[in-house]
Amino acid sequence: MINQLQNILKDPKLQPYLYKKRIGLEKESQRVTLSGALAQTNHPKTLGSRTIHPYIQTDFSETQTELITPVFDTEKEALRFLSALNDVLLRSMPEEEMLWPLSMPPALPVDDRDIQIAKLENQGDVNYRRYLAKVYGKRKQMVSGIHYNFEFSPQLIKQMYDLSDQSLLLTEFKSEIYLKVARQYLRYRWLITYFFGASPIAEDHYFIMDRPNEPVRSIRNSSFGYTNRPEIKVSYESLDTYVNDIEHLVDTGALIEAKEFYSSVRLRGSQDLQELAKNGIQYVELRNIDLDPFSTIGINQKTLDSLHLLVLLMLWLPEEEKSVLEREQEGVLKNNTVALEHPLALTIYQEEGNWLLQELDQMIDALNLSDKEKSLAEELKDQFKNPEKTLAGRYVKTLEQTALSNGEWAVSKALDYHHAAYEKPYQLAGYREMELSTQILMFDALQKGLKLEILDEEDQFLKLSRGSHIEYVKNGNMTSKDHYISPLMMENKVVTKKILATEKFSVPNGYEFSSLAEAMNYYPEFESGSIVIKPKSTNFGLGISIFKASVSQDDYQQALEMAFEHDSQVLVEEFLEGTEYRFFVLDGKTKAVLQRVPANVEGDGCHTIAELVANKNENPLRGTNHHTPLEKIALGESEAMVLKTQNLDFSSVPTKGEYIYLRENSNVSTGGDSIDRTDDVAEGYKRIAEDAAKALGAVVCGVDMMIPNIKQASIRESKDYGIIEANFNPMMQMHIYPHQGHSRRLTRDVLDLLFPEL
């Protein structure tokens, strides 16, 4: 069957499935101080229990973190999730710590006792690490890297099976596919070390005695790295020989457990070897990928694309007529030789390398692969001719050009990655285009160890789970805790007002209009009053206009037209005096209170309003589409209208210290500033907000109130406040990252509501 594979792979029916795969990534890194010394702290408590955390764990030492992604169908999604995990880890560590960007560890302590074995809850896991320390030494355990878990698409395997002679069962056929890939990978993995090796130099105290003539391509992938003893041999000739050999090594005491077998390729399907033998191989784990120091997360899209292409090559290549163990040993020898070559030198295996790359070209042509694969192959050929373009070659050249030592460069690069993580702490790497409250909720969910699945990114729809407990969340705080009717009531401002008025809450008087002509007929009634014009159903302050004194007929009409752009029905209500506050109510409790100041600029006597707005918008907290805690101030129709009432326009130059307001409504989503007032507001107003949410049947609710004096005691039946709106999906980012005042981490409150077991 194996000898027929090339003919099977050439079949046009397979072509669409050759690109499909399932991959998962694991990334190890060492925690260090900002000066590059090995951290002395424990695994961050904010990340919860390593025993049950699905994504963030520790490897050998207490300082060696391990990030584990779920399985994805594309490299892009795996990289995005790994980026998010890396972001969560960096910002969960003490701020004076960072992640070492190299596979080889930072300078290690002189005394082995100062290298702390991971302090795990399971004593068996601790004892296993103590055994490894005794047999291999602690220092080799401190090496880090990337594990690439790869599975061919089930459709590809099934199509190949249908085209085969079907002398095997489908599960047996699948295992044979992965065994061939594993054998060829072990034989030719020196090529991967040549291209992606990136551990040329070791810092102090890694080597006890002998060391290579550094720099080399990859210490980690050489005999100086973390490898089994030479006498540990396992045959990949069949699944039975693989399982039997490992079990024999365990039975004779050569290995303490099956997981001590540290091959560059592991056959995966079950942790239990007998289960693996029974059910077959599901995927392969490639374990010899060094951390890419030029990538924040240690690996990039192009490397993953290249690995997929090279895995296909391993499936394509004919096998040599030698015993499997002979080929494996030849692979070990060649890989060690290449790993210890100078990064800028041509490999001594030019002939075999050129043959492999010619086979790659032939495979791409025979399988009719896309221009993307052809381009990747050209880049690999270029790197083979020019070793300075390989990862290790680039790294060594960078050290030469910067005149930095290995450790100095690593500290500099780690600091860059550290600062980048804190530059916009309100965003989550990999998912920065999603709505901000959703990003923050995702960060907190990952930090707490909840499983996370994005069901619909555009719709901000998430699935969160812990064990059998599953919750669905939309837009950060829309959950199953709220009944369907409550959001519909809050979306309709007329219904909201009627319900609250019936329950004796203070609400503004007003009218509802279905047409511009009808609303214009009422102009004489509003001409000299203070009014608010807004769409019946709206969010983010869209289409709202406020007139605190008299309003001209033209301005009244223009405001109505803007409101009708957002809804077929418009409200004209009395304007309530006071300051507007947003009360965030969750499960019957006021969790945060925010004062929102309308979009404004402070004059300096020199610059125009337009220039002052542009300057204020440079603040990194300001952005667009709710990707930042504050929104940029616009220079649009609404802002022009507000300036007009002050006899100003965008070219006006305010005096020094003069505050100019560009909006009447105070929504942060229209450029307003946010000020936390949770500790300042009288308890009576909090109770009013809580009672209003209860009246609307809402578990999550944003209650907007106009209040002249927040420190004055109040009750529901008084007239010293007015509820102007209730929101079924209140933004959380403005409470979490206010313009001024304390942060209120509402996303954690939402998660605690959904998962009280946390």
Question: What is the tens place of the pLDDT at every residue in 18-77?
Answer: 999 999 999 999 999 999 999 999 999 999 999 899 999 999 999 999 999 999 999 999
- Residues 458-468: pLDDT tens digits? 999 999 999 99
SS3 assignment, position 407? helix
Question: Tokens 């992938």 — which residue?
Answer: 221
CATH superfamily assigned to domain 481-507+577-598+672-758: ATP-grasp fold, B domain (3.30.470.20)
Mean pLDDT of the 523-546 span: 80
The pLDDT tens digits for 139-174 are: 999 999 999 999 999 999 999 999 998 899 999 999
Instruction: Judge contact between 139 and 179, C-beta under 8 A.
Output: no
Average pLDDT, the chain: 94
What sign has the CA pseudo-torsion 51, 54, 56, 61? positive
pTM exceeding the 0.85 threshold for the entire prediction = yes
Residue holding tokens 């990707």? 627
Beta bridge partners of 117: 61
Average pLDDT of 663-670?
83
- Examine domains 2-350+387-420 and 509-574 and report if their fold is the same: no
Phi, psi of 675 (to 5 degrees): -130, 120
Q: What is the mean pLDDT of residues 290-312?
A: 98
- Asked whether 599 and 660 are in contact (CB, 8 A), the reply is no
Give the residue extent of every domain in the chain: 2-350+387-420, 481-507+577-598+672-758, 509-574
Reported CATH class of domain 509-574:
alpha beta
Domain 2-350+387-420 has CATH 3.40.50.300: no
Q: Please say if the pLDDT value at position 538 is more than 70.
A: no
pLDDT in tens, 92-150: 999 999 999 999 999 999 999 999 999 999 999 999 999 999 999 999 999 999 999 99
Query: Structure tokens of 243?
Result: 């399982």
Residues in contact with 241: Cβ distance below 8 Å, sequence separation at least 6, in sequence order: 234, 235
- 654 backbone φψ class: left, alpha, beta (φ>0; ψ -120 to 50): beta
Rg (CA), the chain: 32
Is pLDDT above 70 for 540? no
Coil, strand or helix: which one is 345?
Answer: coil
**How far is it, in rounded angstroms, from Cα 184 to Cα 286?**
12
Tokens of 742: 């304390």
Which pLDDT band, with edges at 50, 70 and 90, does 254 fall under?
Answer: very high
What is d(CA 652, CA 368) in angstroms, rounded to the nearest whole number? 64
Angle, vertex CA 727, rays to CA 726 and CA 733, nearest 5: 130
Question: What pLDDT sits at residue 1?
Answer: 55
CB 393 within 8 A of CB 387: yes
Query: Could you write out the DSSP letters of every residue in 190-246?
Result: HHHHHHH--B----TTS-SS---SSS-SBSTTSTTSS---TT-----SSHHHHHHHH
Q: Are 329 and 240 in contact (CB under 8 A)?
A: no
